[in-house]
Amino acid sequence: MRKKFVSVILCAAMAAIMTTGCVTKGNDVYPSEDIEVIVPKSAGGGTDISTRGLLTYMEKNMEGAKFNVTNNADGGGITGMAATANAEADGYTLGAVTVELDMFCFQGKSDLTYDEFDAIAMPIAAPAALIVQADAPYNSIDEFVAYCQENPEAIQVGNSGSGAIWDIATYLFEQEYGVSVTHVPYPNGTADIAAALTGGHIDATLADPSSFMTQIEAGSLKCLGVMASERTNLLPDVPTFMEEGHGLVVRAWAALVAPKGMPEEELQTLREAAKAALESEECKEYFQAQGIEPVAYIGDDAYQIMKEDYEMYRQVFETIDFSE
């Protein structure tokens, strides 16, 4: 008898817990309920931190808005990005997409492309930076290239996995300058590249400079150039490859997007909130404290970058054979 009583209580408690999640929809102005945001990377990474940062400051500029972030890192991010694209375009499901969106479709990993989304804002676009040991004999891009020409295949360049963005940056570098280096993959990410470069196990890397800033500031590493259209605020004294006459632009971006076809007015509300957020000083400070240099590409500007990179990677995957 007592056993039955206990199980009845337990069932009732569970039923009560389960129903608390159900809330009825209101009919007020947008947003009238919580907005779900799907981040296709795991919690704590660059994409996650920058998306959550942007959303925190957007809430302050959007009356009644509350964003709930869910992380879905399955399939290297494909699942999460596909979930956003397939969600109902009612403005209550948004998502983050990353530069890999423009690469997966050429690697046969997914059919998803940038034109299935409406861009809201892009808070982060980290350039590839050429970083070497501080005591290395080369002090500029040209000297480094000359060294590579004299010692073919001898320079070991770290990347974050074969066919991933920093590896592609290395291929583009080789193609542009007609040199050849050894590609050494560190699939667990840039922290491992930083350790290997600082420990002298590899000679150089082309990667997001933010993971290397502590070593650069301490004087154990130096940065020779960045693959961006403008100099980065992280390293204002370092020239871009553009300035040297080589149009290499490789950037790891993440953008907040909505599934295509959401009402224009609501999209505008989101874009304005994102603009106000990214232009505020406290938001900039938050990003900088995390070692991220914030950018503020809103709406069509962000969409343009997603499109440009799509075209660039189409060419990259047509001309470079990654299978060797």
Shortest Å, Cβ 91 to another protein: 21
Give the residue with the Cβ less far from another protein, 71 or 232. Answer: 71
What's the chain's Rg over C-alpha atoms? 23
Q: State the Cα–Cα distance between residues 183 and 20, nearest whole angstrom.
A: 53
Nearest to 256 by CA among 47, 43, 33, 34: 47
- Smaller CB distance to another protein: residue 102 or 167? 167
Identity of the residue, 89 or 196, whose beta carbon is nearer to another protein in the bound complex: 196
Judged by CB, which is closer to another protein: 29, or 154?
154
Residue with Cβ nearer another protein (134 or 276) = 134
In whole angstroms, how close is the CB of 265 to another protein at the nearest point?
A: 30
SS (H, E, C) the chain: CHHHHHHHHHHHHHHHHHHCCCCCCCCCCCCCCCEEEEECCCCCCHHHHHHHHHHHHHHHCCCCCCEEEEECCHHHHHHHHHHHHHCCCCCCEEEEEECCHHHHCCCCCCCCCHHHEEEEEEEEEEEEEEEEECCCCCCCHHHHHHHHHHCCCCCEEEECCCCCHHHHHHHHHHHHHCCCCEEEECCCCHHHHHHHHHCCCCCEEEECHHHHHHHHHHCCEEEEEEECCCCCCCCCCCCECCCCCCCCCCEEEEEEEEECCCCHHHHHHHHHHHHHHHHCHHHHHHHHHCCCCCCCEECHHHHHHHHHHHHHHHHHHHHCCCCC
How many angstroms separate the CA atoms of 270 and 273, rounded?
A: 5
- The smaller minimum CB distance to another protein, of residues 220 and 242, is found at 220
Least distance to another protein from the beta carbon of 195, Å? 5
Instruction: Please give the residue ranges that form the binding site for another protein (CB under 8 A).
Output: 3, 6, 10, 42, 44, 49, 70-76, 78-79, 82, 107, 109-110, 153, 156, 161-164, 167, 182-188, 191-192, 194-196, 198-199, 201-202, 214-215, 217-218, 220, 286, 289-291, 322
Q: How far is the CB of 30 from another protein (least distance, A)?
A: 25
Smaller CB distance to another protein: residue 182 or 280?
182
Q: How far is the CB of 163 from another protein (least distance, A)?
A: 3
Least separation, in Å, of the C-beta of 309 and another protein?
18
Q: Shortest distance, CB of residue 290 to another protein, whole angstroms?
A: 6
Instruction: Kindly state the tokens that stand for 206.
Output: 């082309």
Looking at the Cβ atoms of 216 and 305, the one nearer to another protein is: 216
Q: How far is the CB of 173 from another protein (least distance, A)?
A: 18
